[in-house]
Amino acid sequence: MGENNFFEIREFKSLPSTNLYLKENYDEFRDFTVVIADAQTNGYGRKGREWNSSKGGLWFSFIVSTDDPFFWISCASVSIVDLFPELKIKWPNDIYFQNFKVAGILSEKIKDKIIVGVGLNVNNNINDELKDKAISLTNIYKKKFSTKNLLNRILSKIYDNSQNYENIFEKWRNYSIILGKKLTIKVSDKIYQGKVVDLLNTGELVLSDSNHKRKILYGDIIRWEEI
Ligand code: BTN
């Protein structure tokens, strides 16, 4: 890592959720405190969805004062793809291998800080009901990884990437699995279809159909296809 003591790591065998732990204790920790748990008993993802967090996966969160959450979320996602070039980013910041999700990132705001939680399937078992949607690094690379070693490599990348603002968004676009593709997306209760023509530093995707261009900040991707 460029700065040895940039991050301060707190390790736990088990926690309900590393995000929740930082959220509940945010005033005790300095910026760039990292909380990692071998397992989470109540891990959650975006929209409060359950996040399967058994032993063998990498479940961690860090806290930072910022007015630009999207910068830090993207910094985390591009740092993972820097290490594993076979992976791609599914807007906004899910990490995919082909059609399977490998990692998810959840940010939560508390006062002037955000907590960025990273869930990366490493050696953990993927449940039968998730097998058609999720995959682990072990499944992809056919080997086991040291989660502690992986954490250090990811944090080191996050530090390096965070030094260059533009570079993060450049990589975020380059690593995108949807840019240039035909996209079907649900926004509130409407479904839109079109070509993804751009991804903006604000986090918006630009969807173009025969009539006009639409900027979308929040939405659930239904599918993406080659044009
Ligand atoms: C998502 O794709 O919905 C985001 C998943 C985020 C999961 C991580 S695991 C570490 C941290 N603690 C949690 O409870 N959630 C995040």
What does the alpha-carbon distance between residue 64 and residue 27 come to, in Å, rounded to a whole number?
Answer: 11
The pair phi, psi for residue 143, each rounded to 5°, is -155, 165
Check residue 5 and give its pLDDT.
Answer: 78
What does the alpha-carbon distance between residue 70 and residue 39 come to, in Å, rounded to a whole number?
Answer: 26
Which atom belonging to ligand 1 lies closest to the Cα atom of 40?
14
Q: Whose CA is nearest to atom 11 of ligand 1?
A: 117
- Which amino acid is it at 82? D
Average confidence (pLDDT) over 195-200: 97
Which atom belonging to ligand 1 lies closest to the Cα atom of 45?
3
Residues 59-70 have pLDDT tens digits of 999 999 999 999
Residues with CB under 6 A from ligand 1: 17-19, 40, 43-46, 49, 51, 53, 59-61, 94, 104-106, 117-119
- Enumerate residues 6+ apart whose C-beta is below 8 A from 104: 45, 46, 51, 93, 94, 95, 118, 119
pTM score above 0.75? yes
- Which amino acid is it at 145? F
Residues 4-47 have pLDDT tens digits of 579 999 999 999 999 999 999 999 999 999 999 999 999 999 98
Check residue 218 and give its pLDDT.
Answer: 94
**How many beta carbons lie within 10 A of that of residue 184, not counting itself?**
15
Q: Whose CA is nearest to atom 8 of ligand 1?
A: 119
What does the alpha-carbon distance between residue 203 and residue 107 come to, in Å, rounded to a whole number?
Answer: 13
Residues 157-196 have pLDDT tens digits of 999 999 998 999 999 999 999 999 999 999 999 999 999 9
